[in-house]
Amino acid sequence: MICSAHIDTFTRDFLPPAAQWPDFMFGLPDLKYPDRLNCVSELLDRWIAIGHGERPCAISSAETWSYAQLAEKVNRIANVLTRDFGLVPGNRVLLRAPNSPMMAAAYLAVMKAGGVVIGTMPLLRAKELIYALTKAKIKFALCEAQLAGEMEKARTASNDLKHIVYWGDGAAQSLEALMQKSGYEDFTPCDTAADDVCLIGFTSGTTGEPKGTMHFHRDILATCDSYGRHVLRAGPDDRFIGSPPLAFTFGLGGLVLFPLRAGATMILLEKAPPDELLAGIARHRATICFTAPTAYRAMLGKLPGHDISSLRKCISAGEALPQATFDAWLAATGIKIMDGIGATEMLHIFIGSPEDEIRAGSTGRVVPGYEAMVIDDEGREMPPGIVGRLAVRGPTGCRYLADVRQCVYVQSGWNVTGDTYLMDKDRYFFYQARSDDMIISAGYNIAGPEVESALLMHPAVAECGVVGAPDEERGQIVKAYVVLRAGHNPDSAMTRTLQEHVKETIAPYKYPRAIEFVTVLPRTQTGKLQRFELRRIAAENNSRKIAS
Give buried/exposed letters for 160-175 (b at 16+ CB in 10 A, else e): ebeebbbbbeeeeeeb
Query: What CATH number has the domain spanning 441-547?
Result: 3.30.300.30
Q: How far apart are CA 486 and CA 262, in angstroms?
A: 61
Q: What local confidence, expressed as pLDDT, does residue 444 receive?
A: 86
DSSP character at residue 21: S
Q: Strands 92-96 and 140-144, how do they pair?
A: parallel
Q: How far apart are CA 470 and CA 481, in angstroms?
A: 15
Q: How far apart are CA 116 and CA 452, in angstroms?
A: 31
Segments of 27-130 assigned E as strands:
56-59, 64-66, 92-96, 116-120
User: Where in the chain is CATH 3.30.300.30?
Assistant: 441-547
Q: What local confidence, expressed as pLDDT, does residue 206 receive?
A: 41
Q: How far is CA 22 from the centre of its chain?
A: 21
Q: How far apart are CA 147 and CA 128, in angstroms?
A: 14
Q: How far is CA 485 from the centre of its chain?
A: 37
Q: How far apart are CA 403 and CA 407, in angstroms?
A: 9
Q: How far apart are CA 379 and CA 294, in angstroms?
A: 33
> How many CB atoms are located within 10 Å of the residue 273 CB?
12
Q: What local confidence, expressed as pLDDT, does residue 376 receive?
A: 94
DSSP character at residue 86: -
Element containing residue 514 per DSSP (H, E): strand 514-517
DSSP character at residue 291: E
Q: Is 115 exposed, middle or buried (0-12, 13-18, 19+ CB in 10 A)?
A: buried
Q: At what angle do helices 448-456 and 492-505 cross, to 10 degrees?
A: 110
Pick the CATH number of 38-191 from 3.40.50.1370, 3.40.50.980, 3.40.190.10, 1.20.1250.20: 3.40.50.980
User: Where in the chain is CATH 3.40.50.980?
Assistant: 38-191
Q: Are 216 and 252 within 8 A, CB to CB?
A: no
Q: What local confidence, expressed as pLDDT, does residue 207 receive?
A: 44
Strand partners, 425: none
Q: How far apart are CA 90 and CA 14, in angstroms?
A: 12
Q: How far apart are CA 444 and CA 208, in angstroms?
A: 14
Q: How far apart are CA 239 and CA 73, in angstroms?
A: 21
Residues contacting 484, CB < 8 A, separation 6+: 460, 461, 462, 490, 494, 517
R_g of the chain, CA atoms, integer Å: 23
Q: Is 455 helix (H, G, I), strand (E, B) or coil?
A: helix
Q: How far apart are CA 36 and CA 47, in angstroms?
A: 19
Predicted confidence pLDDT, tens digits, the chain (548 residues): 679 999 999 999 999 999 999 999 999 999 999 999 999 999 999 999 999 999 999 999 999 999 999 999 999 999 999 999 999 999 999 999 999 999 999 999 999 999 999 999 998 999 999 999 999 999 999 999 999 999 999 999 999 999 999 999 999 999 999 999 999 999 999 999 999 999 999 986 444 588 999 999 999 999 999 999 999 999 999 999 999 999 999 999 999 999 999 999 999 999 999 999 999 999 999 999 999 888 898 899 899 989 999 999 999 998 788 888 899 999 999 999 999 999 999 999 999 999 999 998 899 999 999 999 999 999 999 999 998 999 999 999 999 999 999 999 999 999 999 898 999 999 999 988 777 667 889 888 787 878 888 998 999 999 899 999 999 889 999 999 999 999 999 999 999 999 999 999 999 999 999 999 999 999 765 566 888 899 999 988 876 665 55
Q: How far apart are CA 381 and CA 372, in angstroms?
A: 10
DSSP character at residue 350: E
> How many CB atoms are located within 10 Å of the residue 47 CB?
22
Q: How far apart are CA 66 and CA 189, in angstroms?
A: 20
Among 91, 117, 340, 318, residue whose Cα is nearest residue 220: 117
Q: At what angle do helices 101-112 and 67-79 cross, to 10 degrees?
A: 60
Q: How far apart are CA 242 and CA 288, in angstroms?
A: 8
DSSP character at residue 432: E
DSSP character at residue 347: S
Q: Are 230 and 368 within 8 A, CB to CB?
A: yes
